[in-house]
Amino acid sequence: MSTSAKTLGSDSAPDGAADTSPGKKGGKKKLILLAVPLILTGVVAGLWFSGVLPHLLGMSHKEQHEAEAKPGPPIFVDLPEMIANLSGNSRRPVYVKLIARLEVAKSEDVERIKAAMPRIVDLFQTYLREMRPEELRGSAGTHRLREELIARATIAAGSARIRDVLFSELIVQ
């Protein structure tokens, strides 16, 4: 009986090994199925962020940036002289006189700006009347005024791109 026990024991050992080997092969398959997409994703992301993949796909933005980086000569549109009273708590009215120019990106935008000029002047006048004299003091006040006027001119001009507002005169009296 010892031989039959040995044969049974020897038969059971290979069966146990047979049970563990498919489990290990299934684990390796799962690992490969998970690792391959992760590695491919990493390679594609690396190529994308390094700029190789967009260049290969013809999606390069370099030409657009170079075109924007080389602006032509500046194009200016004169605004009419504006005089507005500032809001304040004093009994004496305080006025501001503003003569400015708009710098536009393209020569085609000049006609759009001229067509929108009444709206631009209205928005500028309305904004100036809401200001207090203290807000216009110093370079920070002038810078803030410039930024607000650029934003309002961009809204009024629609598709025209306004680069800057240049002050010829800014007098607070």
Q: How confident is the model over 161-173, as pLDDT tens digits?
A: 899 999 999 999 8
C-alpha 133: how far from its chain's center? Answer: 34
3-state SS, residue 36: helix
- Tell me the average pLDDT of the chain: 82
Measured CA angle at 67 (ends 65, 68), to 5 deg: 65
The separation between the first and the last C-alpha atoms of the chain, rounded to the nearest angstrom, is 121
Domain definitions of the chain by residue range: 2-66, 72-172
3-state SS, residue 50: helix
Q: From CA 173, how far away is CA 94, in angstroms rounded? A: 6
For residue 83, the cross-strand partners are 97
Q: How confident is the model over 123-135, as pLDDT tens digits?
A: 999 999 999 988 9
| pLDDT band at residue 21 using 50, 70 and 90 as cut-offs | low
What is the model's pLDDT at position 23?
Answer: 52
User: Is the whole model's pTM more than 0.75, yes or no?
Assistant: no
Q: How confident is the model over 40-89, as pLDDT tens digits?
A: 999 989 988 888 888 888 776 665 566 555 667 889 999 999 999 998 77
Q: Does domain 72-172 have CATH number 3.30.479.30?
A: yes
Selected residue with higher pLDDT from 21 and 108: 108
Q: From CA 106, how far away is CA 129, in angstroms rounded? A: 31
